[in-house]
Amino acid sequence: MYASVLGLLSERPPVVQVIPLSGRYIPKPADTVIGTVTDVQGTFWLLDIGAPRWAPLHMTGTPWQVDVGETERFLRVGDAVVVQIESLEATGRIGVTMNGEGLGKLDGGTIVQVSPARIPRVVGRNGSMIDTIRRLTGAEVVVGQNGRVWVGGSPDAIHRVSEVLRIIEENAQHSGLTDRVESYLRSTTPTDLKGPEEPPHEHAHRDAPPRVLGSAEPDEDAVAAEDEPPEPSEPSEPSEH
């Protein structure tokens, strides 16, 4: 017996399974995902949802009254949308719909890609993590099960959210992450942030006053309250055996 993918061995008799540590997003029915339009046809759009295949979104699967050949008036290549997985066929075809609450086109904002395996941590138990992020940054956040997170709001808010997402992804195996994120967000106000990583300019603005950077480090003493079972930090068994 052997595992076919790299992952963590989980033994809960009578079930033995391997939890994959990596890999593309594998669609599941009823998942809400964020996609970008890659192709426009007469009656449907093709969406890249990060899955092995592109997913066709048919014009009848939208809340709009679309006429044949008019699809491009509604969505063009590059547009971002929130859709739900409706059907999966044996051929690998992924059917999606835009009819439903919280689904539709996304305007403005930024999409941050995290590993689909980390999405449960981004959302947190009963949405605790995502609520904290929304509350403390004021940003609009839409989480797709395919690992894409859409963030809308002021540039500052967007930057802070992407910073937080990076922290979550890098520390997903640690406990007390929600507290850590909360203290990070409380310790940094929008003006404290240094902006997108820029290399120091040695000669630029010699007479400009030195820039004061706020502490961007998360509080190390954050109490590790068990808000969620941490992921095992070490693979118990090697992948291919």
Query: Which of 118, 124, 123 is closest to 19 using CA atoms?
Result: 118
**From 9, 21, 88, 193, residue interacting with another protein (rule: CB under 8 A):** 21
Distance CA 140, CA 80 (A): 15
24 touches another protein by CB under 8 A: yes
**Are 42 and 52 spatial neighbours (Cβ–Cβ below 8 Å)?**
no
**Are 142 and 82 spatial neighbours (Cβ–Cβ below 8 Å)?**
yes
Complex with another protein: residue 65 or 233, whichever CB lies closer: 233
* Amino acid residing at 144: G
Which window, 175-183, 187-195, 218-226, 228-236, contacts another protein (CB under 8 A)? 228-236
Which window, 28-36, 76-84, 112-120, 213-221, contacts another protein (CB under 8 A)? 112-120
Query: Which of 141, 185, 150, 192 is closest to 167 using CA atoms?
Result: 185
Complex with another protein: residue 135 or 224, whichever CB lies closer: 224
74 touches another protein by CB under 8 A: no
Complex with another protein: residue 34 or 117, whichever CB lies closer: 117
19 touches another protein by CB under 8 A: no
Number of residues that bind another protein (CB under 8 A): 31
Burial (CB < 10 A; 0-12, 13-18, 19+), residue 176, is middle
56 touches another protein by CB under 8 A: no
Which window, 149-157, 162-170, 188-196, 219-227, contacts another protein (CB under 8 A)? 162-170
- Written as six digits, the tokens of 64 are 């709009």
Which window, 68-76, 115-123, 124-132, 157-165, contacts another protein (CB under 8 A)? 115-123
Give the number of C-alpha atoms closer than 13 A to the C-alpha of residue 47, restricted to the C-beta side: 30
Complex with another protein: residue 176 or 190, whichever CB lies closer: 176
Residues in 166-225 that interact with another protein by CB under 8 A: 166, 169-173
**From 9, 43, 97, 118, residue interacting with another protein (rule: CB under 8 A):** 118
CB neighbour list of residue 222: distance below 8 Å, 6 or more residues apart: 176, 179, 180, 183
Q: Alpha helix locations (H) across 103-213?
A: 119-123, 128-137, 155-170, 177-187
**From 29, 63, 69, 92, residue interacting with another protein (rule: CB under 8 A):** 92
Q: Report the greatest alpha carbon distance in the chain.
A: 70
Q: Smallest distance, Å, CB 114 to another protein? A: 7
Please report, as ranges, the residues that interact with another protein according to CB under 8 A.
Answer: 2, 4-6, 20-24, 52-54, 91-92, 113-115, 117-118, 166, 169-173, 233-235, 238-240
